[in-house]
A and B are shown apart, each in its own frame.
Chain A
Amino acid sequence: GNSVTQMEGPVTLSEEAFLTINCTYTATGYPSLFWYVQYPGEGLQLLLKATKADDKGSNKGFEATYRKETTSFHLEKGSVQVSDSAVYFCALSDADTGRRALTFGSGTRLQVQP
């Protein structure tokens, strides 16, 4: 079956530091890949997505590249801000399996200190 594995958190960084949150996946078909962000007390918001190999998703300074050869979709940001403190979820959608719901990783908490 499909699965998503994320690095365990929390990840604690100083403001303006470089961020990487690792995500790897297993899938039977050709999935689309997503990063979601959850701010305290809120639901999940789509941050970025990539639908095929070598696609790069980007939004708000965050980037992730769909790497089929390594089955990875690592999230990166060059300079984090305190306002980026949140929980980040990697997810995949694999319609070929007939499953409608996304498969989520366990989430990685990011804490950015001033």
Chain B
Amino acid sequence: ETGVTQTPRHLVMGMTNKKSLKCEQHLGHNAMYWYKQSAKKPLELMFVYSLEERVENNSVPSRFSPECPNSSHLFLHLHTLQPEDSALYLCASSQADRNLNTEAFFGQGTRLTVV
């Protein structure tokens, strides 16, 4: 059982569809993250959840809606996306305690194509 699991691995959706990406971590961490990775662009941090509370939202369009029902699960709800939203979406988790620098563990990502 891998530490961070993302489903689905691949998703093709139309611009009028609604879909959700799922992430589950089995590491007992207290923080989870969504990143967007587009071709030829740096890794973009989208959302940060700590103890199930959203603590960071980096100017992400409202067509992306995160949800963190508990410390092990993170969702990214998608609706009315644009073709430029096609990218690899990566979930990560970490143990984010005060004054403790720790690494993040990543899932394998969901390759999203918007048509």
- A residues bordering B, Cβ < 8 Å? 31-32, 34, 36, 41-46, 49, 51, 89, 93-96, 98-102, 104-107
Contact = CB atoms under 8 A, between A and B. Distances in A.
B68 interface: no
A105 B4 CA distance: 22
Contact of A100 (B4, B94, B105, B106): B94
A93 B92 CA distance: 14
B109 A93 contact: no
Nearest to B41: A106
A104 B106 CA distance: 13
21 contacts: A32-B103, A34-B103, A36-B106, A41-B111, A42-B108, A43-B106, A43-B108, A44-B90, A46-B103, A93-B103, A95-B98, A95-B101, A98-B98, A99-B56, A100-B55, A101-B48, A102-B94, A102-B103, A104-B43, A106-B43, A107-B42
